Amino acid sequence: MMKLLKIEWLKIIPNRALWLFIGIYLLATPGIMSYMIKFAKKLRQVSFAQLEYLSFPEVWNTVAYVGSYFHVLLGLIVIYLITREFQFKTLRQQVMDGLSRIQLLLAKISVMGVLTLVAVTSLIITALVTGLLYSEEGIPSNVYQNFSVFGKFGLQAIGNMSLAAALAFLIRKTGICFILFLFFPLLEKLASSLIWAKLDLYLPKAAFGALIPMPGRSSIESIGIDLSGLEPGLALMLSIGYVIVFLGICSISLEKSNL
Amino acid sequence: MNVLHINQLTKHFGSIKAVDNLSFDVPKGTIYGLLGPNGSGKTTTMGMLLGILNPSSGSYSWFGEAPDAAQRRRIGNLLETPNFYPDLNAIQNLKISCQVKEVDYSHIQRCLEIAGLWGRARDKVKTYSLGMKQRMGVANALLGDPEVLVLDEPTNGLDPQGIAEMRDLIIEVGKQGKTILLASHILDEVERVCSHVAILKKGKLMASGLVHEIIGGGDRVILKSDDLPLLATALRDSPMTSQVKQAGDRVECLLEDEFDSGDLNQFLVQRGIKIKEIFVQKNTLESQFLEITKE
């Protein structure tokens, strides 16, 4: 696996476009968080302490929820990394030179793993800094509460990237994959409207989305607004299932097709 | 011992049969030419042998074993146009290949020097001409000093000097006891460097074997004389010739291997036949190839 990661690393190091993508991703969550806090303060005229979702331990979930919207960037990165290999026919060269087809997939999975680690680390740092800035009492004793959200955030990232990888290995064209991936939630809604109204709750993007609840969801629901979504346990099971299915699609597509 | 054994290998692309029940063996240490017109299945065959195309049926084995990725690391390859990352330079690209082939980076400079590309090694591949990309493909194929080379049209895009260098390189590698499977349209090059050939047409094997066997004996001789019937009769009586036929103002025949045109001329003079013209058409791989693949 280290050999595969090293091969991917050699491809990535000189790729400025990719580093730009990753830079945007890393700055997106802290940037949006900072903007939202400023906006909220202006709107509510509140003190720091009253921004309750920004103090420990709720801040983990808040930042993870905001950060989850940027998984789309990770998906685009994965599509870019895979489809350019088809564009330059470099995957076929690597197979001729001595990689197996499953190693091609494992190499991309290793990159997805590293991106997930980067995403989770960035999330922890952003949440920690936000929490320290907006918790009146500093770090409370229950700071570890909600820590599982990082695992769910990582699963969400892997889920989005595995969906992106499946599209990329199947379709191989960057533009079409970008469009399909970006509009995937709309396609889920469309399928739901045609087949069964509640179907979209169980479809991949919705399942991944349900892993991290909206901050203050219980308060919103208590005033009668229905934020119907999957139960967390079911969302978790479905998400893991979808990751396995998407990686299986990648594997079958690579094994069965001509390169 | 055979390095490569191909057994009834077949590849369909939809309704098109690109390779049709192909079987032949490549002995160790030979330079084996794979010939055929465009669309005859040469590249498809090589693609299957290098693991990028899945055969529809049939099988092949390298080094006497079922094919796998580890075996391909023992095979240098250049299939169609070389495939590299355009935004990386030659060294960066070859580092990736070294990792894949599990070869030390120290091979890179030597291979780029052999390919004549060391001077441009730090330029991005997207700035290379087609010929330079081809040289880069050759450098990639030579990484790790592989036991076998599979080369598909290696002279594509090369200038005359590059073609000559490539021919010398193939001969040199062949002399080291390595096995080379070479697809090419340049038949006189193949005739000069290859010991064996297989000729494909529409995916089918039309002929295979040693080059001199494929070319066959018997140069064609064309003769002119004032007395053509007498000339034809004398040639039919001669043990030196066969397939004698009178055509217009000439007589054509095949000259047996052990004789040359001087022997024939002497024989005819002894028979009192005055020859006005004698022209020997050497049998070549090209003439045999055209004969075998003609519609």
The structure's pTM equals: 0.85
Closest CA to B194 of B26, B45, B79, B37: B26
HEC-encoded secondary structure of chain B: CEEEEEEEEEEEECCEEEEEEEEEEEECCCEEEEECCCCCCHHHHHHHHCCCCCCCEEEEEECCECCCHHHHCCEEEECCCCCCCCCCEHHHHHHHHHHHHCCCCCHHHHHHHHCCCHHHCCCEHHHCCHHHHHHHHHHHHHCCCCCEEEEECCCCCCCHHHHHHHHHHHHHHHHCCCEEEEECCCHHHHHHHCCEEEEEECCEEEEEEEHHHHHCCCEEEEEEECCHHHHHHHHHHCCCEEEEEEECCEEEEEECCCCCHHHHHHHHHHCCCCEEEEEEECCCHHHHHHHHHCC
B83 and A93: CB-CB below 8 Å? yes
Looking only at the bridges linking them, the beta strands covering B2-13 and B275-281 are: unpaired
Delimit the CATH 3.40.50.300 region(s) of chain B: 2-214
Contact criterion met (CB < 8 Å) for B96 and A94: yes
Supply the pLDDT for residue A49: 46
Number of domains in chain A: 1
Can you give the residue range of the structural domain that contains A116?
A: 2-256
**pLDDT at A131 (0 to 100):** 86
Q: Do A97 and B101 touch (CB under 8 A)?
A: yes
Give tens-digit pLDDT for A106-163. Answer: 999 999 999 999 999 999 999 999 888 877 776 777 777 888 899 999 999 999 999 9
Length reported for chain B: 295
Residues of A in contact with B128 (CB under 8 A): none
How confident is the model over B24-70, as pLDDT tens digits? Answer: 999 999 999 999 998 899 999 999 999 999 999 999 999 999 999 99
- A144 vs B76: CA distance, rounded Å: 55
Pinpoint the residues of chain B covered by CATH 3.30.70.100. Answer: 217-293
Q: Which residues of A are less than 8 Å from B52 in CB distance?
A: 92, 95-96, 258-259
Residue of B nearest to A89 (CA): B83
CATH of the domain spanning B2-214, picked from 3.40.190.80, 3.20.20.80, 3.40.50.300, 3.40.50.1980:
3.40.50.300
Closest Cβ opposite residue A92 in set B83, B96, B99: B83
Tell me whether residues A258 and B96 touch, CB distance under 8 A. no
Which strands form B16-27's sheet, in the order they lie side by side?
A: B16-27, B2-13, B57-62
**CATH top class, domain B217-293:** alpha beta
Segments of chain B scoring below 70 in pLDDT: 217, 295
CB B148 within 8 A of CB B173: no
Q: Give the pLDDT of residue A48.
A: 45
Show pLDDT as tens, one digit a residue, over chain A (259 residues): 889 999 999 999 999 889 999 999 999 999 988 888 888 777 766 554 456 778 788 889 999 999 999 999 999 999 999 999 999 999 999 999 999 999 999 999 999 999 999 999 999 999 999 888 877 776 777 777 888 899 999 999 999 999 999 999 999 999 999 999 999 999 999 999 998 888 888 999 999 999 998 886 666 666 666 666 778 889 999 999 999 999 999 999 999 998 8
ipTM above 0.95, yes or no: no
Cβ within 8 Å, pair B100-A10: no
